[in-house]
């Protein structure tokens, strides 16, 4: 197959940052994706519908002309989130979900939820209004090994949560383990998962063998090859419970290439080429459109996009870096490498 035309995809998990960063991150994402679920872990976080509306306007100010583009906004779940904010968010035409970061789990998560049982009154409203809960699924206790934190979250937090709220509409984001994949498969239609390109293409050997490669470092961290294999199986299976979420996370080069580097892979400009490579490796390119363009929209109750993009089997040279803030640069995943797919 030399060309593949698919419905324009959506990215159901992306970080755009704020301020001057938007001049670079928004056009990069909008060139291939229509709808974006825009992560709320800014400084300060997007705590209210008013915060989200203002952030959306800042994003739209950098949207390229002539392409469909619809940033979908997300509340940042804190211990103090009022239950009344859920009905308010549900009543808008631009709010899509609320994001729960366990406090301390990842970038700018210090204001996250300290104990999920403290916010059950808000989760009751999520279930009642069928307003989706997005989860960073890792425990944060210091004694739990970083490679085990997702599985422990499933056992200690998520399974009890769904027993308490069986109709809760929920997305387990950026899953990284076979246990998470099987957990999602065992749940009803109200539970889904996103998967990043790096977790389909790579495992922890790529990050650690022969030297530490900071641009492969993200959270949840890359796992063993056996987990990568299962993720690729479910992503390419055509099961609508799994769909695209890049978790593209820009950090300036000096923040990544650092003695204590930031977590996050920047993939927005090349994400579709990366997913195409993964699906081709699995021999299931015919399943890419569902994963990238159909299943997320269906889960969120939104119409599928009507325009298309075309992937071409033609080498693409990934830039060594992209411009970012002031004199800083962004180094993407696979910087300086050649990908087998381009976008026409």
Q: Which domains does the chain have, with CATH numbers?
A: 3-343 (3.20.20.140)
Q: Do residues 231 and 222 make contact, with C-beta atoms less than 8 angstroms apart?
A: no
Rounded Cα distance, 220 and 176, in Å = 7
Would you state the pLDDT for residue 316?
99
In the chain, which stretches have pLDDT less than 70? 108
- What's the pTM value of the predicted model, to 2 decimals? 0.97
pLDDT digits (tens, 9 = 90+) for 117-154: 999 999 999 999 999 999 999 999 999 999 999 999 99
- What are the residues facing 322 on neighbouring strands? 330
* Alpha-carbon Rg for the chain in angstroms: 19
Rounded Cα distance, 215 and 256, in Å = 7
Of these residues, 247, 254, 315, 326, which one is catalytic? Answer: 247
Nearest to 191 by CA among 200, 199, 182, 203: 182
Which H or E element spans position 151? helix 149-153
The pair of structure tokens assigned to 222 is 């890359």
Residue with tokens 């299962």: 230
pLDDT digits (tens, 9 = 90+) for 32-81: 999 999 999 999 999 999 999 999 999 999 999 999 999 999 999 999 99
Rounded Cα distance, 231 and 147, in Å = 16
Would you state the pLDDT for residue 310?
99
Cβ-based neighbour number of residue 318 at 10 Å:
19
Q: b or e along 115-154 (b: 16 or more beta carbons within 10 Å of the residue's beta carbon)?
A: ebeebeebbebbbeeebbbbbbbbbbeeeeeebebbbbbb
Would you state the pLDDT for residue 187?
98
Terminus-to-terminus CA distance in the chain, angstroms?
A: 15
| 247 included as an active-site residue | yes
């Amino acid at each position: 197959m030399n060309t593949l035309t698919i419905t324009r995809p959506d990215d159901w998990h992306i970080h755009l940052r704020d301020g001057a960063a938007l001049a670079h991150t928004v056009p990069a994402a909008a060139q291939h994706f229509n709808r974006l679920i825009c992560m709320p872990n800014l400084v300060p976080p997007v705590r209210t519908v008013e915060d989200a509306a203002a952030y959306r306007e800042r994003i739209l100010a950098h949207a390229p002309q002539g392409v469909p583009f619809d940033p979908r906004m997300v509340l940042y779940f804190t211990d103090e989130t009022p239950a009344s904010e859920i009905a308010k968010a549900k009543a808008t035409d631009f709010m899509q979900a609320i994001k729960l970061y366990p406090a301390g789990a990842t970038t700018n998560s210090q204001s996250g939820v300290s104990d999920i049982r403290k916010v059950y009154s808000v989760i009751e409203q999520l279930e009642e209004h069928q307003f989706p809960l997005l989860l960073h699924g890792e425990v944060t206790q210091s004694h739990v090994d970083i490679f085990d934190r997702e599985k422990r979250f499933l056992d200690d937090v998520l399974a009890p949560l769904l027993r308490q709220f069986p109709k809760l509409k929920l997305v387990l984001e950026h899953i990284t383990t076979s246990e998470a994949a099987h957990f999602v498969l065992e749940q009803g239609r109200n539970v889904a998962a996103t998967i990043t390109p790096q977790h389909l293409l790579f495992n922890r050997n790529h990050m650690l063998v022969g030297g530490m490669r900071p641009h492969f470092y993200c959270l949840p961290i890359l796992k063993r090859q056996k987990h990568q294999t299962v993720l690729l199986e479910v992503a390419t299976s055509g099961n609508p419970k799994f769909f695209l979420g890049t978790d593209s996370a820009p950090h300036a080069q000096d923040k990544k290439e650092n003695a204590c580097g930031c977590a996050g892979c920047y993939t927005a400009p090349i994400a579709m080429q990366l997913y195409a490579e993964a699906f081709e490796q699995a021999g299931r390119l015919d399943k890419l459109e569902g994963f990238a363009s159909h299943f997320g929209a269906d889960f969120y109750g939104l119409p599928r996009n009507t325009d298309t993009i075309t992937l071409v089997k033609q080498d693409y040279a990934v830039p060594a870096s992209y411009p970012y803030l002031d004199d800083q640069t962004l180094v993407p995943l696979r910087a300086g490498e050649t990908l087998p797919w381009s976008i026409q």
